[in-house]
Amino acid sequence: MGANQTNTRTIDVRELNMRDMIHALTGGRPHLFMIMAYNQAKEGLYERIRSVSEEKFNVVCIRADEVKSSGYDLLAKIHDLIARAELVIAEISEWSPNVFYEIGYAVGVRKPPLLLIEKAKEVPTDLKGLEVVEYKYDWDGIRTFEADLTEHLRFRMNSDFALLRDMLEAPVPEPAYLVTSPKYPGRHSRIQGQVYDTRTFGDHLGILGLISAFGSMRGEGKGIDLVSAQHSPPDLWKKPMSLYLIGSKKVNPTVGIMMERLQGGREPNWSIEPAFGFTEKDQDWPGCLYRTAAGNTEAIQGELEETEVEGEKAEIWKEDYGIVLRGAHPLHPGRLVLILAGAHSLGTGAACLAATRSALIQKIRSRLPTGALEDKTCTFWVLVKGVASDRDCLLDEEGVSVEDAGVYQRS
């Protein structure tokens, strides 16, 4: 099989430090390091590996010959690229001292590589404890190899990065809009003596989490646009873009529209409406998360605690609930809508963390049917609970729990 013609990336890294060097090669994205002997006949194989890693996982594939340097300087940079790689792959069909040295180094820094070898060739005894993918180097074999490699990478890269992609990235990744308007809490939402903010809370956790996640997935300058929910066009939801919506419809009107459209009248139906005894006509109405199923509507409320703020009695939410709702855009195939909402900042913050922290995403995945998280045509909901810290009554980031989750039957 002949080699594909591609544009070769070679970065002169002699004047760069380690961190700048990796950034120059990857554009800020995670990377996979490829170990293989130079063989012009195997260029096609490398391009297939690069295609799978970059197109299906958005992970940059790097090989040693793409790092322009010499001697010890080059070796030190290869060490750093291996140590910082999301995954290491090694092609071992041909014996090469450089290949086996780099495999040994990868194992030594706890980055055991995924080995590739042509069928009918034998894996060296010293490497038989490592995972191996066999392939046949012809057109039919390479097509099978691509499918096998994809599955191995999906399993091996079940890491923070992979979980974020499964949760957040749409099949058509751009454009993506983060729509939010954080409402600053009034003094009766603050605890006594708390004058200044000392850490991120509420809707800001979603802003920080999503921007960080998209930056890591797509690289510098290729993230997500941030727009105000209060000053965005009323027909924003009709446009062909993925929407990441934070807050209740009280502060983010698009949330109300998209909650209805994503759920489509199916149950359980989640909504954030005025609390009992209030209507939307009331100024600054307090909200409540509601769950409707089988004709019954239930208020999902947390726990209030009395305290004093500036000498006056006030109630502080010690625990509260939020909802994560994700589904395909109802008007535009390939786009996603993700809603992170709660009736109060504590619940919204919990929903934001659940959708942007890998450990919590893993818990969501375990609650959903197999494959639901990865299926971007599936609409699912997740109920989360947040607990306030005794120190400042803001969300305890270690106290967020996934309470329940489910998928909607396709309509």
Q: What is the DSSP string of 231-252?
A: TS-TTGGGSSSEEEEES-TTT-
Instruction: Pick the closest to residue 328 from 227, 258, 268, 225 (CA basis).
Output: 258
pTM: 0.67
Res. 1 pLDDT band, cuts 50 70 90: very low
When pLDDT is averaged across residues 379-400 and rounded to a whole number, the result is 89
Residue 392 or 399, more confident = 399
| C-alpha span between 67 and 77 (Å, rounded) | 8
In angstroms, the CA 62 to CA 137 distance is 21
Cα dihedral 136, 137, 143, 145 sign: positive
Candidate from 122-136, 185-199, 357-371 with smallest mean pLDDT = 185-199
Q: What is the largest CA-CA distance in the chain?
A: 81
pLDDT-derived band at 350 (thresholds 50, 70, 90) equals: very high
Residue-by-residue DSSP string for 333-355: TT-EEEEEEESSHHHHHHHHHHH
Q: Which amino acid, one-letter code, is at 144?
A: T
User: What band does 61 get if pLDDT is binned at 50, 70 and 90?
Assistant: very high
- 253 or 165, higher pLDDT: 253
Provide the pLDDT for residue 141: 80
Which has the higher per-residue pLDDT, 24 or 345? 345
Q: Among 156, 143, 145, 165, which residue's Cα sits nearest to residue 56?
A: 165
Dist. CA 94–CA 121, nearest whole Å: 9
Class level of CATH domain 11-157: alpha beta
- Beta-carbon contacts of residue 169 (< 8 Å; ≥ 6 apart): 58, 217, 336
3-class secondary structure, 113: coil
**Average pLDDT of span 366-392:** 91
Q: Which of 75-79, 109-113, 139-143, 367-371 has the lowest mean pLDDT?
A: 139-143
Q: pLDDT grade, residue 186 (50/70/90)?
A: low
Per DSSP (E only), the strands in 38-188 are 60-63, 67-68, 87-91, 114-118, 132-135, 176-180
Q: What are the contacts of 252-261 at 24+ separation with CB within 8 A? A: 252/179, 252/180, 252/181, 252/341, 253/229, 254/179, 254/229, 255/229, 255/339, 255/341, 258/330, 258/337, 258/339, 259/325, 259/339, 259/341, 261/237, 261/330
Mean per-residue pLDDT for 340-344?
95
Domain boundaries, the chain: 11-157, 162-407
Average pLDDT (54-82) is 79
Indicate the range of 42-56, 141-155, 249-263 predicted with least confidence: 141-155
**pLDDT at residue 99 is higher than 90:** yes
C-alpha triplet 154, 378, 333: angle, nearest 5°: 95
Do the beta carbons of residue 337 and residue 242 sit within 8 Å? yes
Query: What's the mean pLDDT in 191-200?
Result: 55
Long-range contact pairs involving 189-195 (C-beta distance under 8 Å, separation at least 24):
189/314, 189/316, 189/345, 190/309, 190/393, 191/307, 191/309, 191/316, 191/392, 191/393, 192/307, 192/308, 192/309, 192/310, 194/392, 194/393
b/e per residue, 86-103, with b = 16+ CB within 10 A?
Answer: bbbbbbbbeebeebbebb
The residue whose two tokens read 């706890």 is 110
Report helix, strand and coil shares of the chain as percent, to nearest 5: 35, 25, 40
Of residues 97 and 3, more confidence is placed in: 97
- Residues written for the chain: 411
**Span 358-368, pLDDT tens digits:** 889 999 999 99
Pairing outcome for strands 67-68 and 242-246 = unpaired
Distance CA 144, CA 22 (A): 32
Q: What is the share, in percent, of the chain residues with pLDDT greater than 70? A: 86
Is 391's pLDDT higher than 50? yes
Q: What is the mean pLDDT of residues 179-191?
A: 65
